[in-house]
Amino acid sequence: MSSNHDHAASSEVTKRHKVEGPQKHIVGFILSLALTIIAFAAVAAGEINATFTYIILVGMAVVQVFIQMAFWMHMKDRGHLFPIIGIISGAVVVFTMVIMALYWVWW
């Protein structure tokens, strides 16, 4: 009986306490560096069309945000539903405000 209880208690402890090594942080850091270098190279090249450069910069910025939220803010883990809902709600409000401001100014 004691060995069953000890085994159940140890498996419960390992389920609750998951150790995360630095590997994921290193991968996130390398991805962030790569995206920053790509964005810098697009601007520094000079021969690239300005519109295409803006598209590259905005695309890299969006990807960078998702990488930062996944690897550094741990939004990929369980228990982060309310912060994710808050971030999505804020993004919807900002997007709506920008669209309405553009509509108001241009028409």
Q: For residue 68, what pLDDT is reported?
A: 84
Total-model pTM: 0.60
Domain limits, the chain? 23-105
Residue 16 CA to residue 79 CA, distance in Å, equals 13
* Three-state secondary structure call for residue 74: coil
User: pLDDT of 36-72, one tens digit each?
Assistant: 998 898 888 888 888 888 898 999 998 998 888 877 7
What is the C-alpha end-to-end distance of the chain, expressed in Å? 77
